[in-house]
Amino acid sequence: MESTSADRLAQELLDHCLAGRPWPARLLDGLIADAGNRALFRIVVERLGDLFEPRLCGVYAGLFSEVIARRIPDLHVEHLAARYERIRRPRKFTRDPASIRNVFVLSRVTLGADVAITSIMLDAATQAFPKAQIYFVGPRKSWELFAADSRLRHFPIAYGRSSTLDSRLSIWTELRGAVCLPGSIVIDPDSRLTQLGLLPICPEEDYFFFESRSYGGDSAEPLSNLTRRWVRETFAVADARAYIRTGLDAREYAATVSFGVGENPAKRVEDPFEEELLRRLPRPVLIDKGAGGEEADRVERAVAKSGEGIEMWDGSFAGFTAHIRKSKLYIGYDSAGGHVAAACGIPMVSIFAGFASERMFQRWRPTGSAPIEIIRPEAADPLTAAQAAIANLQHRQKL
């Protein structure tokens, strides 16, 4: 099946989901085939999540229960859907905390979400279960953000965000074997590892699921605030916070910058915004080259046109976050770097574009203890607004 054909099937399936109509079996038949399942994730699954509409959580559960059951014969549609309806309801932890020996906190897989959401759950777990061993379960790149936290251990699970359906589901057996232990609980922040809570990995009484797509209902609260509310209600931890702890050395910069867009070009502002913004930043500046390829080429071109006093970071994301933590100012598109700056209390200008819905903007906007200026390019001239925001932050820092 050609990619364009898979995209058409996925769009048709999405249209049925959004309209609340039953989907024809032929759509799933076509998309579960090898060349189509990436379109299933990219077009259908991600869109259903990004809209943050509570009613779509049930639609997703019905759809993906069928997908999972087709690929894992031991699992059945009705059982998966019924279990999901039970575990999605928030409930309080009522047992003796001293009876818990292990707490497994699952990664959200994406770096920004692991800072904005998962790190709050890690902090809450260490407070609620001081005698337990706390595990971060997920990719090494995310673990590096917390590797210097002596309270935590890492259980590595690799997950390919662009992998095939079978590859993504293949971790189920390994994950279940790792966390399904006596005296253990699992905290799931709506993780891709469990396909947003659908894969059963331990007894339900040991499983605490934060359905981030519906929690908070129609409110405009950001996800970090909702996560803090959830851990307060679930584990009676009132002061859990987002954090990073890399243990890596860093030097101080007047500004750290990231023009990464997480494979979503709609988040970018068209040229020459990036080079013009770099010209106007206080020196010295450190800008992340990202994961390479087009993003790195774009950064190199902008730096070459923006004058002296700009250095490029070509290392790990954890290493870049250490520099963010020591900088005076952070500037970037909506991405992981912004959530790091918010968690570290660094004044920030966030250029926020390319969101699928207004509620997605409200949920993912960064929030922290330091001043944050958010620019929505569709509502203002981005360069003028960014200059004004930087001047405002500099003024507030001098007061």
Q: What is the mean pLDDT of residues 15-22?
A: 96
Task: Tell me if residue 231 falls in helix, strand or coil.
Answer: helix
With cut-offs at 50, 70 and 90, classify the pLDDT of residue 264: confident
What is the average per-residue pLDDT within 155-176?
A: 91
Q: Are strands 330-333 and 285-288 parallel, antiparallel or unpaired?
A: unpaired
Q: How far apart are CA 232 and CA 398, in angstroms?
A: 35
Query: Which tens digit of pLDDT belongs to each residue from 296-343?
Result: 999 999 999 999 999 999 999 999 999 999 999 999 999 999 999 999
- Mean pLDDT for 134-140 is 98
Residue 2 pLDDT exceeds 60: no
Q: In this predicted model, what pLDDT tens digit does every residue of 47-84 receive, in sequence order?
A: 999 999 999 999 999 999 999 999 999 999 999 999 99
**d(C-alpha 213, C-alpha 190), whole Å:** 8
Check residue 34 and give its pLDDT: 66
Average pLDDT of the residues of the chain: 94
Q: What is the pTM of this model?
A: 0.95
pLDDT value, residue 3: 65
Q: How far is CA 225 from CA 74, 222, 245, in A?
A: 38, 6, 20
Q: What is the pLDDT of residue 1?
A: 43
pLDDT exceeds 90 at position 398:
no
pLDDT band at 287; cut points 50, 70, 90: very high
pLDDT at 163 (0 to 100): 82
Strand order in 285-288's β-sheet?
310-313, 285-288, 255-258, 330-333, 348-351, 372-375
Cα(170)–Cα(164) distance, integer angstroms: 10
User: 3-state SS of the chain: helix, strand, coil percent to 5?
Assistant: 50, 10, 40
At residue 153, φ and ψ (nearest 5 deg) are -125, 160
Query: What mean pLDDT do residues 378-394 have?
Result: 91
> Cα–Cα distance between 317 and 338 in angstroms, integer?
12
Lowest mean pLDDT among 158-172, 200-214, 363-377: 158-172
Any bridge partners for residue 331, and if so which? 257, 349
Question: How far apart are the C-alpha atoms of 228 and 234, rounded to whole Å?
Answer: 10
What integer pLDDT is reported at residue 395 of this predicted model?
A: 82
Nearest-angstrom CA–CA distance, 314 and 171 = 31
pLDDT band at 4 (very low <50, low <70, confident <90, very high): low
With a pLDDT cut of 90, the percent of the chain lying above it is 89
Residues 121-146: what's their mean pLDDT? 98
Give the DSSP letter string of 323-340. HHHH-S-EEEESSHHHHH
Q: If 0-12 CB within 10 Å is exposed, 13-18 middle and 19+ buried, where does residue 20 land?
A: exposed
With 90 as the cut, is the pLDDT of residue 231 above it? yes
